[in-house]
Structure 1
Amino acid sequence: MTGRSSGVPLLRLGDVLITGLLNELDDKAAPTFTHGLTERISADRVRDVLIDISRLEIIDLFVARTLMESTTMARLLGARVIVAGMRPPVAITLVELGIELVGVETALNAEQGMAALGWHQSSQPPEGARHDAPR
């Protein structure tokens, strides 16, 4: 199930809620995103949250504060939070703005973030799938 009221998808995969942030987050979408995220954590009893920010090429104070507030609220609701895909200019700007993501783990990309949460990509086809081996 996904939520799109903020324009940002919220996808549940087991006990993990996966979402992302975009540069286009505005005054209306930011509170809607944060509210939707916290509501889903509470209603679905989500234990882990992965926020993919790989599409953020730069970050301004507004989006940085939204990220900080969202991760803090998620942690207060008992969720483990991983922020994945942070680009160097975003990391530099967060430090320059004095924004700290206290208690938040980071990963180089969403795949590594999911692995940190215990999800692993299988190199084998699903059971029952046809596999034509070279002869």
Structure 2
Amino acid sequence: MTGFSAARPAPVPVLALGDILLVTLQGDLHDGTAEQLQHDITHRIASSPTRVGGVVIDISGVEIVDSFLGRILAEIAANARLLAARTVLAGMRPAVAITLVELGLTLPGLVTALNAEDALALLGRTSSAAPPSHPEEGA
């Protein structure tokens, strides 16, 4: 045995930014990877030592969303909502939006934002709210 298993999907990183989880999707997301992501996000929210207030899923690197991925995104939002966290879908390309409408997917429970920065702002986190890194001289 070589120890290599092609059946196991590569995990998608789930980053914590304070009480927000940030997920950035790139390229095609295979069904197994999407299901694993759903499990990972739900587990991170439920097992976090501190309250997770929101989840940002940045899909700006995704060119195609099929009905399965649309359903997984809606289920991630539903799971997060049951665990008292809000979900924002960021960076949807126009072609993806058109495809979702054509498929009849409404993605209940998902709020959308143009980009990850806007998504963080919707969840109450903005980079402009950060204190300045250098105090003013002479103050």
Q: Give TM class, smaller chain.
A: 0.7 to 0.9
Amino acid at match of 2:99: T
1:82 is paired with a residue whose SS is strand
**1:28 to partner: Cα distance:** 2.1
Residue among 8, 12, 20 paired with 2:12: 8
TM-score (norm 1): 0.81
Q: 1:37 aligns with which of 37, 41, 44?
A: 41
Preserved CA contact (<8 Å) 2:89 2:113:
yes
Instruction: Write the distance in 2 (CA, Å) between the matches of 1:13 and 1:88.
Output: 27
Which structure 2 residue ranges, 5 or more long, are not aligned? Answer: 1-8
Task: Give every structure 1 segment of 4 or more consecutive aligned residues whose post-TM-superposition deviation is greater than 4 Å.
Answer: none
Could you tell me whether the CA contact under 8 Å between 2:31 and 2:69 is conserved in 1?
no
> Of 110, 114, 120, which aligns to 1:114?
120
Residue number in structure 2 paired with 1:126: 133
CA deviation after TM superposition for structure 1 residue 48, in Å = 0.7
2:110 is matched with: 104
The change in CA–CA distance for 1:42 and 1:6 in structure 2 (over 3 A counts) is farther
Q: 1:63 to 1:23 in 2, by over 3 A?
A: farther
Contact 1:84 1:106 in 2 (8 A): yes
